[in-house]
Amino acid sequence: MDTILTAIYMALICLAFTADDKTETTRVKTPSGPINGFKTQNKNTGMNLHEFRGIPFGKPPVGPLRFKKPEPVDKWTDVLDATEYGAGCPQTVYIPDLAPRKMSEDCLFLNVYVPGSLDVVGNYPLCQYDGGWIATQGNVIVITISYRVDILGFFTLDHPAALGNYGLWDQKLALQWVHDNIASFGGNPDSVTLFGESAGGLSASFQSLIPSNQGLVHRIIAQSGVVNRMSIMTKKLINDRTIELAQKTSCPINDMYKFVNCLRDKDYSELLEATNIGSFMAQDRIESYQLPYFAVVDGELFHDHPISSLDDKSTEVAQFFKSLDFITGYTSNEGLVLYFMILPKMQEIFEFNVTEGIPVKFICEGMVAPFVELFYKNDTDIKQKMCSYYTTESSKDEQSMRANHLLGDIIFNHPAMEMLSYHTRLGGKSYQYLFSKEKHIEWGSASFPEWATGSSHGEDLQFMFDMHTIMPSLNETKFTPEEKDLSDKIIQYWTSFAKTGEPYGGVGAIQWKPFDLTSRYYLDLDTPLALRSNLSPKMVEFWSKEIPPIGLEHVEKVKRHDEL
């Protein structure tokens, strides 16, 4: 679900700026070819904004190019009309408010937002993410990228017929296009910050561990998502997925090349339906800690699990990661999304109503047990320790919150701590934050129960982008003056980091100190802001001392594939 949400967000958040009138045409000449965009004006700041929408950076990955690395788009001589957004990449839509206006496999486009004037080369720093809002609020060039997701972006057979990681290759190709062309927009190709949230954060984190990105990206902001020990598909999982997909599509697997060609003949909607995350979810327990398809060790982008590469300071991966300035963090209760994952059948089997609370039995048998079975070979000692740590008899509300923290710690919180520690030990400059301002977003018709407190996964985004324009459900929860000030401060921290590598919140703002392994400073993004130290010490100690790291021996090192 995370990958789906972030990809939609990356494709659609720019809709928040379509309300401003297209006042006049503007043109740039780039190495790829001439491009026509248009000029608008931000109604809040009064600053001019030049928008260039739907610029292709890769050939349409259709037909024989489906399930292959993207190919660079050919240069053009006629003027490219970049006044309308390109299609979003095919994906399963869970939130109607964020659904793309159109979807197509011809989706490798990017959008460029340039604040101020195009007449003067501003040498602006770049943010690889979304929209005119941050561009004008923070006075930086912002670029949005549309890339393949789900099965179209990450299908793999661990075989030359389908090596996988196509979505990551799309991102990498977009980075190269930006490097080659952004100076024509007044941008500085030597000052590129890549940032994203959820699977977008995971993607940014992956790109920070690819040494061939040297010179293409210089800073990383990974919000609520980083590379972790569960981020790479195992051979067993690939094999299981292959068998399931063959059964659902009636494509034979006796010959891998014929199998892939059969899948290429299928409509993308059939492939999305066959690999919908819901079809892989158990009805009686939480075991979907991973998406149907995600990154693999392919012998080209990754020769080993990226985490293994960080254990040796001399590797190219470790040295490149060290060279990048790095911000990461998460919300105060990432695991609140658990509320939407507990299906009716689970409640029936364990005899509870999730709106009233989550019982101990479900945590131990419906959450801990499948996790330990999947990643720790059903170790009974680990199972007992986790069950004890994440349960309490104090109150049903507290017990329910422990269940949320279990999910959040596994997927978001502990992995962020681990990556911060790696980056700091390597000698890199790191910053940590916690977004703890509680302002719930109602996704569609669903809302959180009374026992749910804290800021859930994705709720920080409303403080970074003008989301009220594209999400009608937010119209009843507009910002108070204090919340608007927090939003302004966050944008200031993020964009100053993009400009200088140091997050500065403006005059009178809290100084955000770098993370270190002693004080472990972090910025608490709340009203009011506060600099604190040693975030979640009990959780850090539990996962570092009581629970051994998830083993990486299941991920084999891979030499470069030559049979493409």
At 5 the three-state DSSP class reads helix
User: CB 562: neighbour CB atoms within 10 A?
Assistant: 7
Residue 174 is predicted with a pLDDT of 95
Q: How far is CA 357 from each of CA 51, 61, 399, 448, 452, rounded to the nearest angstrom?
A: 47, 46, 8, 11, 9
Residue 291 is predicted with a pLDDT of 79
Residue 15 is predicted with a pLDDT of 31
C-alpha 178/C-alpha 181 separation (Å) is 5
Say which residue the tokens 């970049």 belong to. 82
Burial class of 114 by CB neighbour count within 10 A (0 to 12, 13 to 18, 19+): buried
- Output DSSP code: residue 77: S
In this structure, the dihedral spanned by the alpha carbons of residues 418, 419, 423 and 425, taken in order and rounded to 10 degrees, is 10
C-alpha 309/C-alpha 5 separation (Å) is 29
At 538 the three-state DSSP class reads helix
Q: How far is CA 76 from the centre of its chain?
A: 32
Written as one letter, the residue type at 330 is: Y
**What CATH fold (topology level) applies to the domain 2-194?**
Rossmann fold (3.40.50)
Residue 120 is predicted with a pLDDT of 41
> Is residue 323 annotated as a catalytic residue, yes or no?
no
C-alpha 159/C-alpha 113 separation (Å) is 40
- Output DSSP code: residue 266: S
Written as one letter, the residue type at 110 is: L
Token pair for 513: 């100190």
User: CA nearest 335: which of 300, 301, 289, 393?
Assistant: 289
Cβ(330)–Cβ(446) under 8 Å?
A: no
DSSP for 458-508? TTTGGGTS-GGGT-GGGGGGPPPHHHHHHHHHHHHHHHHHHHHSS----TT
C-alpha 143/C-alpha 57 separation (Å) is 12
Convert 422-472 into a string of H (helix), E (strand) and C (coil). HHHHHCCCEEEEEECCCCCCCCCCCCCCCCCCCCCCCCCHHHCCCHHHCCH
Q: The dihedral of CA 359, 277, 108, 19: what is its sign?
A: negative
Residue 479 is predicted with a pLDDT of 82
Say which residue the tokens 């299928």 belong to. 266
Residue 20 is predicted with a pLDDT of 47
Residue 7 is predicted with a pLDDT of 23
Q: The dihedral of CA 63, 65, 66, 71: what is its sign?
A: negative
User: CA nearest 457: which of 495, 496, 425, 409?
Assistant: 409
At 512 the three-state DSSP class reads coil
Q: How far is CA 151 from the centre of its chain?
A: 16
Q: How far is CA 305 from each of CA 169, 206, 297, 362, 415, rounded to the nearest angstrom?
A: 17, 11, 6, 32, 14
Cβ(478)–Cβ(471) under 8 Å?
A: no
| Structural Rg of the chain based on CA atoms | 23
- Counting as low any pLDDT under 50, the low residues of the chain are 1-20, 120-122, 127-130, 560-564
C-alpha 87/C-alpha 106 separation (Å) is 7
Domain spans in the chain, listed from the N-terminal domain onward: 2-194
C-alpha 67/C-alpha 253 separation (Å) is 16
Token pair for 121: 């080369």
DSSP for 188-236? EEEEEEEEEETHHHHHHHHHTT-GGGBTTB-EEEEES----TTSS--HH
Residue 232 is predicted with a pLDDT of 95
Could you say which of 32, 191, 198, 332 is catalytic?
Answer: 198
Token pair for 340: 């939407």
User: CA nearest 268: which of 254, 249, 283, 287?
Assistant: 249
C-alpha 126/C-alpha 111 separation (Å) is 12
Helical (H) or strand (E) element with 27: strand 24-30
